[in-house]
Amino acid sequence: MSQIVCDSSSIISLSENCLLNLLPRFKVDFVVPRSVEKELVDKPLRVDEFEFKALRLREAINEGIIQVKDVPGVHKRAEQILAEANSLFTPRIKILHEGEAECMAMLELTDVNTLLVDERTTRLIIEDIIALGNFIQSRASFKLRMDREKAMALQERFSDVTVLRSTELIAVAYEKGLLNNLGDGHLLHASLYALKYSGCAITKGEIKEYLQLLK
Amino acid sequence: MKKEFVEKLKKAFLHGDARGLKEISNESAEQAVLSRDKEMVLISLVSYALYKMLTKPHYHYAPGWSDFVKEVVSHLELCIKDPRAIQEALGKRLIEDIAKMDKLHGRFMGDLIERARVKQASRAYAMGLSLDSAAELTGADRFRLYAYIGRTRIHEEIPARSVRDRYERAKEVLG
């Protein structure tokens, strides 16, 4: 079966809305690197407020809904990606984290070419790094310069990667009728907004587009 | 630079200048994004927590408030005298004092410093850092941060692609 690499943001959005049980309904395996498992389970298990969420995620891993994948060389490759991403700007800013870099490293080191990610920066590094650079420069109150050539070279490494969000997953699930057990109602509208409010980087305009597309 | 921030922080706190404290918190958060300096993060968190306390009457009408003010000023003065003391004076003692005051008189589950971590991580994310990078910077919990970010307008400001293309690709991949 083909695979999709997932980062923690997409898993959290889905889990918060009790949507992880949809994953086995698709003809793909959803995989995470070991570092993402640590972020999803090990750390929140130690916090009263999030212990139950971590237990549910651990259960999802134990049941194979999410699979933890160890890839040889992923740490070293992630370090290299981090070094490149985090030196794009002068002065330097650490735009990417180890967990996100490990997801990107998995994409480079395996034949998986789809990433499920809800947060914005990782997605833009892969899809439109210049737009990310412009965004960061516009938000800084200080002068910030981006090495555009280096940025394009980094993006180019992932040119065959498709980036999906949990919202794309839900849109496909909706169209396949996988949400029908929730009864009548504005299923698509409700689920897209639920994911947005859980942290998925989708705009209201995009949600409107989805509602037009799939009405 | 840290010494200057702490001097401004002390002045704003003593004058009851909540807005000033918020500005200090935001400016030091921005500096922390650049420097990844943990002490700059501490200054930002403490400024934010003190700003929230100044805007909530139930703190400054609470018993112990004047002693708390004296402790805050004492810790800040120590840092001004010797910026090497920031980690101990702010990171340990002042945060403990804030947590104690918050536990006695705060109105919410989840302490003020944790809320400050999320708020300033959200600020870092708004500047362009990834969510995990922002969470790591301030020590914010990811679950709290994602939920908070989802309720802001940060994502409305990002460039968006046509959803049709994305959706068609998703259908191919998901089978």
Cα–Cα distance between B80 and B83 in angstroms, integer? 6
| Residue labelled with tokens 């008189």 | B105
Alpha-carbon span A187 to A179, nearest angstrom: 7
Q: Report the SS3 class of residue B144.
A: helix
Q: What is the pLDDT of residue B120?
A: 94
Place of tokens 């496909």: A172
* Residues A49, B171 contacting (CB under 8 angstroms): no
Question: Of all helices (H) and strands (E), which one includes residue A166?
Answer: helix A166-175
In angstroms, rounded to a whole number, what is the distance separating the alpha carbons of residues B138 and A210?
35
SS3 for A215? Answer: coil
The CB density around residue B169, as the number of other CB atoms within 10 Å, is 15
pLDDT in tens, B107-130: 776 688 899 999 999 999 999 999
The closest of A152, A4, A9, A1 to A66, measured between CA atoms, is A4
Which among A87, A119, A125, A164 is the top mutation candidate for probing chain B, defined by the most B β-carbons within 10 Å of its own β-carbon? A119
Cβ-contact B131, B125 below 8 angstroms:
yes
Interface A-B: count of C-beta contacts within 8 A: 155
B131/A119 touch (CB, cutoff 8 Å), yes or no: yes
Rounded percentage of chain B residues whose pLDDT exceeds 90: 66
Hey, is the C-beta of A28 within 8 angstroms of any chain B C-beta? yes
Q: What is the mean pLDDT of chain A?
A: 93
Note the pLDDT tens digit of each residue in B58-101. Answer: 888 888 889 999 999 999 999 999 989 898 888 888 988 898 88
> What average pLDDT does the segment A30-45 reach?
92
The CA distance from B69 to the nearest CA of chain A, in Å, is: 30
Q: Does B153 touch chain A (CB under 8 A)?
A: no
Mean pLDDT of A103-129: 96
Which residues in chain B have Cβ-Cβ distances shorter than 8 Å to A199?
Answer: 131, 145-147, 149-150
**pLDDT tens digits for B125-158?**
999 999 999 999 999 999 999 999 999 988 888 7
Chain B residues lying within 8 Å of A203, measured CB to CB: 155-156, 158, 160
Res. A189 pLDDT band, cuts 50 70 90: very high
Average pLDDT over residues A165-184: 89
The shortest CB-CB distance from A136 to any of B127, B150, B171 is to B127
State ipTM. Answer: 0.91
B:100-119 residues touching chain A, CB 8 A cutoff: 109-110
Angle between helices A204-213 and A187-197 (to 10 degrees): 160
The values of phi and psi at residue A28, to 5°, are -140, 160
Residues of chain B positioned with their CB less than 8 A from the CB of A3: none
Rounded-to-integer distance, Cα A147 and Cα A152, Å: 9
Check residue A97 and give left, alpha or beta (phi > 0: left; psi -120 to 50: alpha).
beta
Distances (CA, A) of A197 to A27, A182, A204, B152, B161: 27, 19, 11, 8, 20
Q: Which two tokens stand for residue B155?
A: 């994502």
Inter-chain CB proximity A162 and B167 less than 8 Å: no
* Strand positions, DSSP E, chain B: none
Contact A165, A191 (CB under 8 A): no
B109 CB neighbours in chain A (<8 A) are: 49
Q: Give A-chain residues touching B137 at CB under 8 angstroms.
A: 94
Name the more confident of A215 and A154.
A154
Q: Which amino acid type is present at position A167?
A: T
Of B133, B145, B166, the CB nearest to A97: B133
Instruction: Average the pLDDT over A2-24 and give the result.
Output: 95
- Please tell me the predicted confidence (pLDDT) of residue B109: 63
Q: Is A197 exposed, middle or buried (0-12, 13-18, 19+ CB in 10 A)?
A: middle
Q: Which two structure tokens, joined as six digits, stand for A69?
A: 């994948």
pTM of the predicted structure, to 2 decimals = 0.91
| Mean of pLDDT values over A7-34 | 95
For residue A30, which phi and psi values (nearest 5 degrees)?
-105, 120
